[in-house]
Amino acid sequence: MENFQKEKVTPAQKPGLFRRLAALAVAAALALGLAACDVSGVVPGGSADVIPNPAASASTADSVNAPFEMHFIDVGQALSVLIECDGQFMLYDGGNVDDGSLIVSYLQSQGVEQLEYVFCSHAHEDHVGGLAAALAYFPAYHVYSPVADASTKCFQDFVKYTQQQGLQVEVPAVGTMWPLGGATVTMLGPVAQYSDTNDTSIVLRIDYGSTSFLLTGDMEKTAETDLVNSGANLRADVLQVGHHGSSTSTSYLFLNAVLPEMGIISCGVNNKYGHPHEETLSILRDAGVDVYRTDLQGTITIGSDVWFGGNVVVGPGVTIGDDVVIGAGSVVVKDIPSHSVAVGNPCHVIRRITDADREYWEGKAAEYRAWKDSLKS
């Protein structure tokens, strides 16, 4: 791998790269970030490690109101997820080696200047490959992987650029919790030792307000079963579907433990593996999970406070701002600005959102969450 220098990593001039899909596509959709969590109240004592956030004390009034966003970057047959909360960023996987410049370009477009945490889910190239470029360009506070060393050149480059920052690749323990702005990141797995590299994937639960996300890397059914049997809290609203939608992941047992509203599949167009497999898509359909795919929608960004009525269609390449309500049956073919109510076919803005609207929808969000929790109990 060549030595990365800042001047060698140039932004990719691809308008489609920065596409955004407001993916909260259920009636009374997940109201993200109505109230950010108090991290001090959710970090328990005991054996679990708590990693301090060196930037936490630097929050300002503006950053407190910054949106929560999770970006499933379109890296083809690979995985890379950028999470932002209150102006702080973490990166989970970096796609293939050839995706390095794309990853750097995307992070630049989102205003990233530093990364609080960098996670390599496991040592396969389509997850670790682009992280060397990210670490060559952006300073990081902590870098994590399920292993500290591997024989592949792409992993060794990942270690090299970590060390060039004066850091070491850390192997975190299950139960470790990290603050990211007003969100909390918790390591749930792997809960055992595995010979299959896919099953060594770091599994993270991210909680923001009352909404939860589960990142699973390429975890397959053996590790899924062990994770369910561990008693970990796997309930999540948004699931990164394991192993690009392969039939070797996403068992009925695991999906029943997670009960997601939405599943995100990162895979390449017409990839040689046939991902996502029909078996996996069938299981997700049976569970009533709304599925979004990077091979169909491009980069998928889940923003905060986006509400969809039933049967909304969002076209590719459309950006929907934060704090937006889309009326039932709308067909969204052009960008919708933040703080708007929009309806129709084609969807168009009919008015701005007021404080009275926010109070009404916060009440509806509470009703929806109570109803959803009653189904899970």
Question: Active-site residue numbers?
Answer: 275
302, β-bridge pairs? 70
Name the burial class of residue 353, with classes exposed (0-12), middle (13-18) and buried (19+) by CB atoms within 10 angstroms of its CB: middle
Rounded CA Rg of the chain:
20
Using CA atoms, how far apart are residues 252 and 257, in angstroms rounded to an integer? Answer: 9
Q: What is the largest CA-CA distance in the chain?
A: 58
Put the strands of the sheet holding 290-293 in their side by side order. 177-180, 183-189, 203-208, 211-215, 238-240, 262-265, 290-293
Put the strands of the sheet holding 300-302 in their side by side order. 169-170, 140-144, 115-119, 88-92, 81-85, 69-72, 300-302
Q: How far is CA 294 from the centre of its chain?
A: 13
Q: CB-based contacts of 371: which residues, under 8 Å, 6+ apart?
A: none
Using CA atoms, how far apart are residues 202 and 169, in angstroms rounded to an integer? Answer: 14
Q: Please calculate the CA angle 26-27-30 and round it to the nearest 5 degrees.
A: 60
Q: How far is CA 229 from the centre of its chain?
A: 24
Using CA atoms, how far apart are residues 338 and 324, in angstroms rounded to an integer? Answer: 6
Using CA atoms, how far apart are residues 251 and 323, in angstroms rounded to an integer? Answer: 35
CB atoms closer than 10 angstroms to residue 346: 11
148 in Cβ contact with 140 (< 8 Å): no
Q: Map residue 345 onto helix, strand or coil.
A: coil
Tokens 């997850």 label which residue? 127
Residue type, 292: Y
